[in-house]
Amino acid sequence: MNYRNYVKANPDIMLGKPHISGTRITVEIVIRKLAEGMEIKELLQAYPQLKKDDILAALSYSADVLAKEEMIAS
């Protein structure tokens, strides 16, 4: 999936946080809700402006960000 069609960042929307295109729903909130145990079906009901592809794009975007992250030895 090419998340670039779904995930945008604009300094005028949500302080520049990555969000789902056409909404003010951040990638962060999508990931947090899923991490809290919300199922995709429930997320779609809670945020009717979302589509399943939006959620999958948020996951794909997050995976790419983490893949580029550097771990610092502690």
18-59: per-residue pLDDT in tens?
Answer: 999 999 999 999 999 999 999 999 999 999 999 999 999 999
Q: How far apart are alpha carbons 42 and 46 in whole angstroms?
A: 6
pTM exceeding 0.85? yes
- The domain ranges of the chain are 3-66
How many CB atoms lie under 10 A from the CB of residue 3? 22
Fold observed for domain 3-66: Arc Repressor Mutant, subunit A (1.10.10)
Answer for the pair 74, 23: CB distance below 8 angstroms, yes or no. Answer: no
